[in-house]
A and B are shown apart, each in its own frame.
Chain A
Amino acid sequence: MLTRQAWSPYLAGVVIGLLQIPAFLLIETALGASSSYVTMGGMFASWIDPSILKIDYVARHVAATGKNWWQVALVIGIAIGAFVSMKLSGAKRAAISPIWQRALGSTSPAKRYAVAFIGGFVLLLGARIADGCTSGHGLSGMAQLAVGSTVAVAAMFAGGITTAMLLLRRI
């Protein structure tokens, strides 16, 4: 089981959904990922510009609270878990997924890295404006029947589909 390269999406989805149990019971919060970028980004930025900590939004996110640093630990754990899973199954990845050559119409790693950087920037800018990402609004918000989160998820798919159809080539 642990050495298989792929699980059914339904098994994996159940495992991910069950993570709401420790999140709500132990941390008293819902699964989420994008706030951790403010915590880490705010901390790094404060080394260059200490005045960023005077912004209440940043101060709230870098404060030494369980919720803030639990989420940073969660995303670090995601990288560890994916690494261990990949090692166990031997599903080693190339530096860049082969689909990008078709999606971008280019074999240049520099072009891919630039698009990834811009994509990451827009990804987190959007997530912070919406106050949540695919995890916080998607997994947790929709499971809680939150109206705003459902609107945000619909907008995510609308933005994602439009961009993938218009800016990327067919993979």
Chain B
Amino acid sequence: MSVTLTIIVGIAMGIVFGFALEKSRVFEPGIIVGQMQLRNFIMLKVFLTAVATGAVVLAVLNGFDYVKLQPKPAAYAADIIGGLLLGAGISLAGACPGTTLAQIGAGYRDALFTLVGGLFGAVAYSYVQPALAETFLGQNGPKLIFSNMLGAPYWAGALVLAAVIVVILVGLEAWSPWRGEMGKDVDGDLPASPPARKASTHPQPAE
């Protein structure tokens, strides 16, 4: 496929992606920070649903040999240190690299600073990458996938993962329904949880 055509496909896919991010409200700083403070679970719900859907899709496409899998190598030190920093950035930015763009599209001005900071971060990494590649933060490793380690075909493992996620989501939704996590202005800005009732000497009115 020509580069021009891949760009057209990319924009079309991005529009669908951005639309779904906006409609799910998962791009909201209130939802993302709320997830990291463990008081809002919309992000986990969207994320796990997308993982399960992707797993089913790839189980079919790979199971019938239409596509090859593209797992990234397991480079544990880089995965852990990079993941910790990335997570810290998610909380401070209230966004991840993809949702930053959704925030810009929806009108959040601070996301422009996240974007510029991100470009600087990517360039800073680029300058140190040749040196880092020689250290324990190099990104080489085996392309391990769980199903291979267990001696099962990928499609079977992927379907099991999807089934497990469905069970988790059913439980999560029963415990904390999504409509209650949106907030009045669908931005995850929820009323503060009621303060723990102080031991009071006054009698409570009967209900």
Q: Do A and B come from one complex?
A: yes
Residues of B contacting A134 with CB < 8 Å?
47, 86, 90, 96-99
- Whether A15 lies near B69 (C-beta < 8 A) is no
- Whether A55 lies near B130 (C-beta < 8 A) is yes
Known A-B contacts A17-B52, A20-B54, A75-B98; the reply to A141 vs B71 at CB < 8 A is yes
Q: How far is the CB of B121 from chain A (nearest CB, A)?
A: 3
Residues of A contacting B57 with CB < 8 Å?
17-18, 20-21, 143
- Whether B72 lies near A116 (C-beta < 8 A) is no
- Whether A81 lies near B19 (C-beta < 8 A) is yes
Closest to B129 in A: A57
- Whether B92 lies near A118 (C-beta < 8 A) is yes
- Whether B157 lies near A145 (C-beta < 8 A) is yes
Interface size range of chain A in the complex: 35 or more
Which listed residue (A37, A80, A145) contacts B146, Cβ 8 A? Answer: A145
Please measure, in the bound complex, the distance between the C-alpha atom of A71 and the C-alpha atom of B13, giving whole angstroms.
10
Closest to A77 in B: B14
A98 within 8 A of B: yes
Binary contact readout A1-37 vs B (1 if CB under 8 angstroms, 0 otherwise): 0001111111111111111111111111111011011
- Whether A81 lies near B14 (C-beta < 8 A) is yes
Of B82, B114, B192, most buried by chain A (CB within 10 Å of CB) is B82
26 A-B contacts (beta carbon < 8 Å): A6-B25, A9-B42, A17-B52, A17-B57, A20-B57, A21-B57, A27-B6, A31-B54, A70-B9, A78-B15, A79-B18, A83-B18, A95-B109, A99-B189, A115-B93, A120-B121, A123-B114, A126-B86, A127-B86, A131-B82, A147-B74, A151-B83, A153-B83, A155-B87, A156-B87, A159-B83
Q: Which residues of A contact B (CB under 8 A)?
A: 4-31, 33-34, 36-38, 40-42, 44-45, 52, 55-58, 61, 64-67, 69-86, 89, 91-100, 103, 109, 112-165, 167-168, 170-171
Q: Which residues of B contact A (CB under 8 A)?
A: 1-3, 5-30, 33-39, 42, 45-58, 61, 66-76, 78-111, 113-127, 129-130, 132, 137, 139, 141, 143-147, 149, 154, 157-158, 161, 169, 178, 182, 185-189, 192
